[in-house]
Amino acid sequence: MITNATIKAKVKGLQKEQQKEVYAEKVKQYFAMGLTYYEIGKLLDVSSRTIQRYVAAHELKKECPAPKALQQKAFELSAKGFSYREIAERLQVTKTTVYTWHRKQKQAKTPET
């Protein structure tokens, strides 16, 4: 996994616009992996709100839908009785991400009254 130190070393000495491009690409990559704003912020050493603003400004939710295969695998493992922690370890995402996927799935199945 690419660490924050690796990213900082990569952007060191680049022009401001080039640095933004490197960070933008990392945000897109992490967002496509299904990481939360908080997780992306931690990896890039910026606030989750900064990530949220970036995603909204660049319409990444339309561009990078959540990885359906990973979510489907999480649902299958959950049905087999695995805990969120175990699922997160197997899929290499955080427990919070697994919880968020399940919460969204439950909301989608529950009809609004």
Q: pLDDT for 11-33, tens place per residue?
A: 666 677 777 788 888 888 888 77
The per-residue pLDDT for 63 is 65
Q: What is the DSSP string of the chain?
A: ---HHHHHHHHTTS-HHHHHHHHHHHHHHHHHTT--HHHHHHHHTS-HHHHHHHHHHTTHHHHS---HHHHHHHHHHHHTT--HHHHHHHHTS-HHHHHHHHHHHHHHHSPP-
Distance CA 99, CA 3 (A): 24
Inform me whether the pLDDT recorded for 3 exceeds 70. no
Q: Which of 1-10, 19-28, 63-72 has the lowest mean pLDDT?
A: 1-10
